[in-house]
Structure 1
Amino acid sequence: MTLIAKKLSSILHQIHSAELQAQRKSDSVALLAVSKTKPCIDLIRAYQAGQRHFGESYLQEALLKQKELANYQITWHFIGPIQSNKTRAIAEHFAWVHSVDRLKIAQRLSEQRPARMSPLNICIQVNISNEVTKSGFSLAELPEAIKRISFLPNIKLRGVMAIPQPETDFALQRMPYRQLYQAVKALNKPELDTFSFGMTGDLNAAIVEGATIVRVGSAIFGARVYK
């Protein structure tokens, strides 16, 4: 077993334990392996250990990986900031986008998703902690954003994504996720079934508060090295 396989197994065990503690169904939380900055061999090792969903933040890097790993049955998720001039390539090469932070981006993804492909799964990014350094819709803007994006063709609005302000206290970690989860559920839209919540540091809190996808990178692949 490779080191990546061991780390992957450890994270999956943590997710399963958190599901049990939260009295949730087993396998109700999916793991998205955040592979940005990591070489293809690392993705292959995770794939060989059973991982199929990988998240990338840098478009050109992701496109190169997709080409090199074309023979692997990988589901690609885009999770990084989106510039308007990158939407066409994202619409053409990904199955999921977690970081739709404004209406214009949703509209461009809708217009540029090829008709031959299945609808692009998207999550609305919510700036749940109202941080000036982060993009995304505010909680107050969310209902109108959902209403407008839901009607766009060629995309499928699946739910929301959030990266709250970092906290070390478990109760404080839970609070923003609970607030956003309850706000979405109050809209009574069963089709919004995806809550992309939680990373390595707050994974357990996110699962307690309804996460259906957790995004984990360094705990699987090791610390990132940025050029």
Structure 2
Amino acid sequence: MSQIAANLELVRQRIDAACNRFQRTDPVELLAVSKTKPVADIEAAWLSGQRHFGENYLQEALDKIEALKGRDIVWHFIGAIQSNKTTLMAQQFDWIHCVERAKIARRLSEARGAERPPLNVCLQVNISNEPSKAGVPLEALPALAAEVASCPNLALRGLMAIPAASDDFDAQQQPFARLSQALAQLREQLPDQPLDTLSMGMSNDLEAAIAQGATFVRIGTALFGSRNTTSRTSP
């Protein structure tokens, strides 16, 4: 068994244990964050049954998508969106987790086109109100959600957040609980949208995220090791 396969099994065990502990019966999907990692690492995880992969840097991701063409991989974009790159994103990805502006949503919708299935999108929320973090503040979320819901070629699936880091389990849960509540409120506001997704939780806090309803946990370090910051190409 490869190291990545062994790591993948350990992460799956953590997810299963958290689901059992917090009585989760709905699915929790593992999103493998493969940014800066080589194609060989993605293929190793794929051979062990992993299908959802998340990338942050567009050109790097496009190279990997091309190299792995023909694999049944679901590609997620989870990095900062540049407005002049929306056409490629809409055409090459299955999910976009980081929409924070209506202009970006409209451009993605136009580039996706009506001939393809709707592009799955999540709205990124700055759940801890950190000046350095991307994302819409909670008070602006209803207006943005309404704008995105009006885009004909997008499916508004849910919310994504990266809370302030903490090693305390109770402190970890608090922002995740706020995001979960925000999703519940959006379901009431937009009952015609498939709002079923909470993209939250990473290697250090996935248990707290699952406790509060995460449906995607975004795991990089625990699967692939520390990030290689010298290998990526321009975003």
Same fold (TM > 0.5) = yes
| Residue of structure 2 equivalent to 1:112 | 111
CA deviations on 1:154-192 (whole Å, 9 max, x unpaired) are 110000000001011101000011012112213325621
CA deviations on 1:17-74 (whole Å, 9 max, x unpaired) are 000111111x610000000001101011000000000000000000000111002111
SS in 2 for 1:141: helix
SS in 1 for 2:198: strand
* Aligned length in residues: 226
In 1, Cα distance between equivalents of 2:125 and 2:182:
11
| Residue of structure 2 equivalent to 1:209 | 212
Asked if residue 223 in structure 1 is aligned to residue 222 in structure 2, the reply is no
| Residue of structure 1 equivalent to 2:154 | 155
| Residue of structure 1 equivalent to 2:130 | 131
| Residue of structure 2 equivalent to 1:46 | 45
In 1, Cα distance between equivalents of 2:63 and 2:149:
31
Deviation at 1:222, TM superposition (A): 1.0
| Residue of structure 2 equivalent to 1:80 | 79
In 1, Cα distance between equivalents of 2:218 and 2:20:
19
| Residue of structure 1 equivalent to 2:89 | 90
In 1, Cα distance between equivalents of 2:67 and 2:110:
27
Residue pairs, 1:7-22, within 5 angstroms: 7-22=7-22
Q: Percent identity?
A: 52
Residue pairs, 1:24-63, within 5 angstroms: 24-25=24-25, 28-63=27-62
SS in 1 for 2:139: coil
In 1, Cα distance between equivalents of 2:119 and 2:47:
26
In 2, Cα distance between equivalents of 1:85 and 1:107:
13
Deviation at 1:116, TM superposition (A): 2.8
In 1, Cα distance between equivalents of 2:9 and 2:84:
38
In 2, Cα distance between equivalents of 1:183 and 1:43:
33
Deviation at 1:214, TM superposition (A): 0.3
Deviation at 1:111, TM superposition (A): 1.0
| Residue of structure 2 equivalent to 1:3 | 3
| Residue of structure 2 equivalent to 1:178 | 177
Relative to the length of structure 1, the TM-score reads: 0.97
In 2, Cα distance between equivalents of 1:164 and 1:201:
12
| Residue of structure 1 equivalent to 2:98 | 99
Q: Give the letter for the 1:218 counterpart.
A: T
SS in 2 for 1:180: helix
| Residue of structure 1 equivalent to 2:233 | none
